[in-house]
Structure 1
Amino acid sequence: MKTAFRWLLSAVFMVQIYVMMAVFGLVFAPWALVSPRGARMACRTYAGYVLWCARWMLGLRTEVRGPIPTEEVIIAAKHQSFLDILIIFHATPAAKFIMKRELLWTPIIGIYAKRLGCVPVNRGKKGNAIARMVKDVAAEFSDPGQLVIYPQGTRVAPGADKPYKIGTGVLYAALEQPCVPAATNVGLFWPRTGILRKPGLAVVEFLPSIAPGLERNAFMATLEEQVESHSDKLMQEAGFTRDGISQHG
């Protein structure tokens, strides 16, 4: 009975946050179309609304740990679900994401992503995609902020292994900016697929920045070790271990 109620509550929660995405998008549209500040305010307000609803509807609390990046940096983050996007965007002053090019054609999301200066990438030919990504990021320098990239390229379930893509290392070398690794455990509560959402404490942790200038392979090794080890710690804190045994309910 308890599980069935959670499923129902999760379904209601998911339906209403997507309805409200459309509402927020339409209400803020006049301001967003004339000013990127309007688009950012719309998205930050929406993110705050979803985090608030998750807390009182689902018992799903969120927490940000570590120094929040406010300067012009790369944030290389573990990506487990839509929730970590919301937490990072709500916490940082000027986040813009490297995103799949197909999302530009998504109603509301695509329009706002353009206004925020998000950088679309093509998942096609690897070399061309990376070169285009660096070029497109450089074009956004007129509007500085925190550039968020997901080194594994997609959402990854807790405990699953997926290689880190070299594109993050190429970008790190090209931009010559500090890189802030970010760990998370959000996938334990808000999985990348399905409807069920669970109560608990979902955390995004910003880790000490990696200074520019490291050789690419050394950078990638450092980044992966930092993000994975700290994500494992956050998941263990919530009762999950990589062998699949979880105390979390």
Structure 2
Amino acid sequence: MLLTKGLTDHLASIESPDATLPGRGQLWLTIYCNKAGLLETLTYNNVCSVEQFEDFVIGFNQASPLFSIVDVGIGKEAADAKVKECLRVFTRFPQTSKVFFGGSHDNGYTSTLTHLHNEGFSDKIILLRGYKQLAYEIKGLDLPNIEIEGLFMKKKLYTNSSKKGSSPNQRTQSPNEKAQSISQSMPPPDIEKYRSKSSTPSMMDSGSPTRSLKHVDFDQVLSKRASCSLSLSELSP
């Protein structure tokens, strides 16, 4: 496993007795997470499928009796509370030689690390970098740190809150596309109502000239209709 090899190689480089005596030192590894939230984020960013994630969790837990992925459930500080308490307890154990801490990107752990530093346990703590840069406040503690190439992703992932905004693959619409979508979303006008309004003269429009009503000679109209009917009757057999 990449993580196990990276940690043992580092212990060997600092001439730790735990690295040279395999029967003496053991690696205890625990990951605390909100499993449902993590799965949703990974699938949303197309990192893996649901089946691949479940296979990874099972494989990780079965890789060693001391390897565990713990689902802490939903809650903003649920995982943080577990990690902080784990740091306090295991760092103080006299049997613990080194603690590799993988949360060096988050300033929220500064107070816990500061307390351990003030108690004289800073020589036990080694920061396991996930990003190139450490969190600003944690960097000020001047703790030793290592980076295992290929262990962590280099870029941050979109979280669930990003769904309210734009997705990673969403394309910005051009002004013409926006205008077209707006026009398509507008309801069609009432054509008959529009025609009736447009054909009705406006009597309140003072800017338009007054139109006089044309006198109609009904006798002339009737005589024309009579002549037409007469002509038609003459043509009939």
TM-score by length of 1: 0.29
TM-score by length of 2: 0.30
Greater RCO, CA 8 A, separation 6+: 1
Q: Which has the larger radius of gyration?
A: 2
